[in-house]
Amino acid sequence: MNALFPAGFRWGSATAAYQIEGAAAEDGRTPSIWDTFSRTPGRVRNGDTGDIATDHYHRTREDVALMKELGLTDYRFSLSWSRVLPGGRRPASQKGLDFYRGLVDELLDAGIRPVATLYHWDLPQEFEERGGWPERATAERFAEYAAVAADALGDRVATWTTLNEPWCAAFLGYGAGVHAPGRTDDRAALRAAHHLNLAHGLAVQALRAVLPSPAELSLTLNLHALRPYRDTPEDRDAVRRVDAVGNRIFLEPVFHGRLPDDLVADTAGITDWSFVHDGDLEAVSTPIDVLGVNYYCPAVVAAGTSETPSPWAGTAGHVRFPHVPGPRTAMDWPVDANGLHELLVRLRDELPHVPLLITENGAAYDDYADPEGDVHDPERIAYLRAHLAAAHRAIADGVDLRGYFLWSLLDNFEWAYGYGKRFGIVHVDFPTGRRTPKDSARWYADVIARNGLPPR
């Protein structure tokens, strides 16, 4: 099989501000909901916080040098809203903006294209105290923040992503309560999902007004590859319900300017959707240039009773997620690259004119440095190879896939798991911050250099 990817294929890696930056209270940065959540006893394993994380704020040059060594063509990072706009509002912090200006300059000097994500879950705490994402005002403030960031960096950053995984922000943060801000209210989760969609649309409009015309604007969704447990009407309907609240709640407003009728019907006992105002869906469906897709594993869905609390609003009493045998990562997520192919082909069929980027894909394993200081991670290499092969197969099947961003460059603060889960291709010794490329980093560098998969 020809294992080469198309000429110009983008090879990147991705990180998130709160997971790597540290410097939580430096240069004017104010708390985000993740600062508050991680400092609340019992919320994060071992009481870990992102106060230091991997100290990327002070080790930017070292980290960009690692990216250059790997041969990355692109680097996807997120900005901390609280660092750019302390308290979430103007005036902007020049020290905060200078950090991102310096990062972008380092990337460009290294020949790496910067890809900026405006929101990776770290809402300024002040906005949560005023109601958070369930409130319309948060979406309006987000558009203002987008304009500030674009005005500061738009001359050097050509690719912008509004939101990363709004499903997680809405349903893990406001429905299941396992992510910040830790609320368990299905109505709040549905309101948050709509206002995140609105924030995206308003931000795209704000970015278009500031950025040069060639700028590439995107949204990143963690779309769910769903399969029925059994081929029965009940299990197929369970898949439909999860698809409505997991996928189509974002895809249909963003690309078609409408809410899914079955979603509205499924959630009628929770909300009447009166928080959707005239003109909202037109704003949400402001055109973008590319869709980012985050994929880690598929989900098998059956009819039954949901776990409590469930992140799947409107599915209570109808849906369960049975355990399926097979290999799993340290996150207990199944390893199945076919789900990535299935998802990309679905998007080819449903959104034939929308280019795609895989903006996150990777795996956590229990890595450690051996006595010689090396980190061997054959399971991760096998995972990456299988998923890149699935992506290559999707391109052969007509999917307009433009690039692949591996999650993640560095071991980091893994949200509610603290520092206990390692996704990086670069090992981080958290007490010292020492970086050690793993075997997977060298393997990925070879993939980039070949623009394709190496022989086994």
Question: What digits encode the pLDDT tens for the residues 246-258?
Answer: 999 999 999 999 9
CB count in 10 Å sphere of residue 119? 27
Q: Quote the pLDDT of residue 83.
A: 98
Do the strands 426-429 and 74-78 form a parallel or antiparallel pair, or are they unpaired? unpaired
Q: Quote the pLDDT of residue 389.
A: 98
Query: Among all residues, which ones are annotated catalytic?
Result: 165, 360
Residue type for 342, please?
A: E
Q: Quote the pLDDT of residue 308.
A: 62
* CB within 8 Å of 196: residues ≥ 6 apart: 133, 139, 163, 166, 169, 170
* Sign of the CA dihedral with 144 first, then 148, 154, and 157 last: negative
Q: Point out the residues of the chain with pLDDT beneath 70.
A: 1-2, 307-308
**Distance, CA of 57 to chain centre:** 20
The whole-angstrom separation of Cα 109 and Cα 306 is: 50
Residue type for 305, please?
A: T
Q: Quote the pLDDT of residue 289.
A: 98
231 φ, ψ (degrees, to nearest 5): -85, 70
Task: Record the tokens describing residue 214, joined without a space.
Answer: 């060639």
